[in-house]
């Protein structure tokens, strides 16, 4: 996709602690975001455990585009664009399956699961036509595919920073995540729910590590679930917000969990409820390390621009248009932890399932944000909370209080860099 009109200049729309409301509502800006963020940088697509066998495939997306993630018969992962090179039909409509090849439903051209065109229907019509060279008529493929702990990212750009450079300090949060498994691996096998919101994707991106809202927006689930989590988002909390750079942000609840010094508190339970899991963790890591892991819990991290790891589940953000976004959500599952996994699925249903108590509240906020942003005045969104008490942690990352707007400021700093490029 190319931009035919002059790209909007974002420099006048983003300040250190303010953004102009039009960044959430401007259709032309959304098209530039697709080009400069979604179709250029690293974007999370899927997890290797979703295509465990040779020739498995699963339907994914990058922004509004449909992408097929395949594992070929040698075990390599490919990201294919779901667009027939004949007349543009979608070659795959199944959510997932196992197939060596995809046959387009329109005129039956057939493509291998690496994207190569392998056959025309009624081939006589192409014989002796030099333009009908199969080598030039494959599916579109993403030139760069890379994974970290099985999380597969793709980039439409043939060149650019490596995935490792893109993840930077946020890679450590994925290290922290996988060690919650006695086998050191996450599995994305619980199936996805899709939640559609009439809101710009950046309201969702910013909210994922906004520690200011939970005490108000989520007070009902905190009281029903009799959960201590609410206090971690109160003004006496020792939890932190962190800006890793590259747009990646975190709410780090470990200071509170360490203060409580109780294994499995991060999950709102106790060791005696999960005897098999606790035994497997101790066998895998030794008593002391297992205890430390079970106290610290899993991360709450937003990996720019679309992978949110929310302690017990992941959300994948898919922008559809300037004011419409789908969140794909699934329970995290940890290899070698069946008793923990069952509870992770139950808690996910209770919080972000169709009748869940958590996401519905957030979605109401997203949609009200969007409607509010359509109003003309005041023109700016103010993101200055905690600016005066920001500091650097021992690794050099900006941190603040759990309710401070460190994450939003970090996201916008990175966004301005990408959009000004
Ligand atoms: Fe796919 Fe014609 S559009 S074969
Ligand atoms: Fe929320």
Domains of the chain, earliest start first: 43-155 (2.102.10.10), 169-420 (3.90.380.10)
Mutate which of 87, 122, 125, 132 to test ligand 1's pocket (most atoms within 8 Å of Cβ)? 87
Specify the residue for token string 């046959």.
103
Any residues with Cβ below 6 Å from ligand 1, and which?
A: 84, 86-87, 89, 104, 106-109
Give the separation between CA 113 and CA 119, rounded to whole angstroms: 13
* Residue 5 pLDDT: 54
Report the separation in Å between the CA atom of 89 and the middle of ligand 1, taken as the mean of its atom positions: 6
Atom of ligand 1 nearest to the CA of 108: 4
Report the separation in Å between the CA atom of 380 and the middle of ligand 1, taken as the mean of its atom positions: 48
Distances (CA, A) of 417 to 175, 247, 410, 420: 27, 10, 11, 5
Report the separation in Å between the CA atom of 366 and the middle of ligand 2, taken as the mean of its atom positions: 10
CB 285 within 8 A of CB 266: no
Give the separation between CA 392 and CA 124, rounded to whole angstroms: 68
Atom of ligand 1 nearest to the CA of 89: 3
Nearest CA owner, ligand 1 atom 4: 107
Return all residues near 260 (Cβ < 8 A) that are at least 6 apart: 228, 295
Instruction: Give, for all 421 residues of the chain, the pLDDT tens digit.
Output: 444 456 678 889 999 999 999 999 999 999 999 999 999 999 999 999 999 999 999 999 999 999 999 999 999 999 999 999 999 999 999 999 999 999 999 999 999 999 999 999 999 999 999 999 999 999 999 999 999 999 999 999 999 999 999 999 999 999 999 999 999 999 999 999 999 999 999 999 999 999 999 999 999 888 887 777 888 999 999 999 999 999 999 999 999 999 999 999 999 999 999 999 999 999 999 999 999 999 999 999 999 999 999 999 999 999 999 999 999 999 999 999 999 999 999 999 999 998 888 999 999 999 999 999 999 899 999 999 999 999 999 999 999 999 999 999 999 999 999 998 5
- Helices and strands, counts by H and E, the chain: 13, 24
Q: Taking the chain, what is the end-to-end CA distance rounded to the nearest angstrom?
A: 17
Token couple for 197? 């919101």
Token couple for 185? 């691996």
Return all residues near 419 (Cβ < 8 A) that are at least 6 apart: 10, 32, 33, 36, 37
* Residue 237 pLDDT: 96
Q: For residue 82, which of 56, 49, 105, 50 has the smallest C-alpha distance?
A: 105
Taking the complete model, does pTM exceed 0.75, yes or no?
A: yes
Report the separation in Å between the CA atom of 53 and the middle of ligand 1, taken as the mean of its atom positions: 28
Token couple for 179? 């060690």
């Amino acid at each position: 996709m190319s931009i035919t009109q002059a790209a909007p200049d974002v420099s006048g729309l983003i300040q250190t602690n303010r953004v102009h409301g039009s960044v959430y509502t401007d259709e032309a800006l959304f098209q530039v975001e697709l080009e400069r963020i979604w179709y250029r940088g690293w974007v999370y697509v899927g997890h290797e455990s979703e295509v465990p066998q040779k020739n498995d495939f699963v339907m994914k997306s990058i922004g509004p585009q449909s992408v097929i993630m395949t594992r070929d018969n040698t075990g390599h992962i490919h990201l294919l664009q779901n667009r027939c090179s004949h007349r543009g039909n979608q070659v795959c409509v199944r959510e997932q399956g196992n197939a060596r090849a995809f046959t387009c439903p329109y005129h039956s051209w057939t493509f291998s699961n690496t994207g190569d065109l392998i056959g025309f229907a009624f081939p006589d019509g192409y014989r002796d036509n030099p333009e009908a060279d199969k080598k030039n008529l494959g599916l579109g493929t993403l030139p760069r595919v890379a994974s970290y702990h099985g999380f597969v990212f793709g980039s439409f750009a043939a060149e650019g920073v490596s995935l490792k450079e893109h993840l930077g300090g946020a890679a450590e949060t994925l290290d922290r995540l996988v060690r919650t498994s006695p086998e050191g691996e996450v599995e994305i096998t619980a199936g996805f729910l899709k939640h559609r919101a009439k809101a710009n994707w950046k309201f969702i991106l910013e909210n994922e590590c906004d520690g200011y809202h939970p005490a108000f927006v989520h007070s009902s689930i905190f009281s029903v679930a009799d959960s201590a989590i609410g206090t971690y988002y109160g003004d006496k909390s020792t939890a932190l917000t962190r800006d890793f750079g590259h747009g990646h942000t975190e709410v780090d609840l470990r200071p509170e969990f360490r203060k409580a010094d109780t294994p499995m508190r991060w999950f709102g339970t106790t060791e005696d409820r999960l005897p098999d899991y606790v035994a497997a963790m101790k066998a895998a890591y030794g008593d002391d390390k297992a205890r430390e892991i079970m106290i610290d819990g899993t991360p709450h991290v937003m990996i720019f621009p679309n992978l949110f790891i929310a302690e017990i589940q992941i959300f994948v953000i898919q922008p559809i248009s300037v004011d419409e976004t789908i969140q794909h959500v699934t329970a995290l599952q940890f290899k070698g932890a069946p008793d923990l996994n069952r509870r992770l699925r139950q808690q996910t249903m209770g919080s972000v399932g169709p009748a869940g108590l958590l996401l519905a509240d957030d979605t109401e906020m997203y949609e009200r944000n969007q409607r509010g942003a359509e109003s003309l005045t005041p023109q700016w969104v103010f993101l200055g909370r905690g600016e005066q008490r920001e500091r650097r942690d021992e690794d050099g990352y900006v941190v603040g209080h759990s309710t401070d707007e460190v994450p939003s400021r970090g996201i916008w700093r990175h966004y301005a860099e990408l959009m000004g490029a």
